[in-house]
Amino acid sequence: MSSQTTAAESSSQPRYAAIKAHIRAQIESGEWPAHFRVPSENQLAQDFGVSRMTARRALSELTDENVLIRSQGLGTFVAEPVPAGSLLEVRNIADEIAARGHSYAARILKLEQTVAHTEVAVALGLTEGSVVFHSIIVHLDNGLPIQFEERYTSPTLVPEYLQQDFTAATPNEYLTRVAPLTEVDTTVEAIGADEAVGKALEIKAGTACLQIWRRTKSSAGTVSFARLVHPGNRYRLGAQIRF
């Protein structure tokens, strides 16, 4: 078949690239706004004179790039642009979400007592094997997971931790209310989501995320040690830092 060769001759780039470019152009020009339903795989295949699998590839790659959202049985839609916002100063992500006019919800994956392994013990200033509270919570913005929070909390400083209803108030909010925090130690890094995080945040493993390690201290000692993971594609998170 010479159709393949023809495409290569005319532009020296794969055919699916042309479809991607076309879709991008439509979105950038404002022709296709957010939530706009893009033509189906079959329609695009027909329009561009390619097979369904080629059109599908263009749609799939744009989905990976967070330009489109697909769902089986429904169709393919233009994704909402990622909002910008501050991050590291955020004390209560529920407020942050409410401030955007979105609905907040939480999914509690774990809330239990366990024993501290080395890393956690060091961070909390406890001896290895001490009892600690361990919680894993996923925070949702309009139903979409935007923060994975894994937290280890000192049972001596916050004894009532496990009795809290964290669907109402976030752990961070609760801690700032209960213990007067004097210091927050934060580390930021960019990582690829591991399997567990990917599953919880409903993103593909390997999707790059912003990971924040936060150690909150009160005058009595280290209260809590948290790992916060944000999918880089759902939120654009900023942080002002001064040296």
- By the criterion CB under 8 A, which residues form the site for a second copy? 61, 64-67, 82, 84, 87-89, 183-192, 204-210, 230, 232-233, 235-243
Q: Residue 219: which of DNA, a second copy, none does it interact with, CB under 5 to 8 A by kind?
A: none
Nearer of residues 23 and 132 to a second copy, judged by Cβ: 23
Size of the site for DNA (CB under 7 A): 31
Cα(170)–Cα(95) distance, rounded to whole angstroms? 10
Which residue in the block uniquely carries the two structure tokens 């749609």?
59
Instruction: Find which of DNA, a second copy, none residue 33 binds, CB within 5 to 8 Å per kind.
Output: none
Judge residue 37's burial from the number of C-beta atoms within 10 Å of its C-beta, 0-12 exposed, 13-18 middle, 19 or more buried. exposed
Whether 28 contacts 36, CB under 8 Å: no
First CA to last CA across the chain, in angstroms? Answer: 62
Q: Which of residues 53-92 bind DNA (CB under 7 A)?
A: 53-54, 56-57, 59-60, 70-76
Residues in 12-41 at the binding interface with DNA, rule: CB under 7 A: 14-16, 38, 40-41
* Residue 226 interacts with DNA (CB under 7 A): yes or no: no
Give, as one character, the DSSP assignment of residue 163: G
112: Cα within 13 Å, side-chain hemisphere: 4
Report how far residue 235's alpha carbon sits from residue 166's, in angstroms, rounded to the nearest whole number.
22
Phi-psi region for residue 4, left (φ > 0), alpha (ψ -120 to 50) or beta? alpha
User: Taking CA 182 as the corner, what is the angle to CA 177 and CA 184, rounded to the nearest 5 degrees?
Assistant: 95
Asked if residue 236 lies in contact with residue 83, where contact means CB atoms within 8 angstroms, the answer is yes
Interaction partner, residue 237 (DNA, a second copy, none; CB < 5-8 Å by kind):
a second copy
Q: Considering beta carbons, is residue 74 or 241 the nearer one to a second copy?
A: 241
d(CA 2, CA 5): 5
Indicate which of a second copy, DNA, none lies near residue 72 (CB less than 5 to 8 Å, by partner kind): DNA
60 binds, among a second copy, DNA, none (CB under 5 to 8 A by kind): DNA
Binding of DNA by 5 (CB under 7 A):
yes
Query: What's the closest the beta carbon of residue 192 comes to a second copy, in angstroms?
Result: 6
From a second copy, DNA, none, interface partner of 114 (C-beta below 5 to 8 A by class): none
Of 64 and 160, which CB lies nearer to a second copy in the complex structure? 64
Residues in the site for DNA, rule: CB under 7 A? Answer: 1, 3-5, 7-8, 14-16, 38, 40-43, 49-54, 56-57, 59-60, 70-76
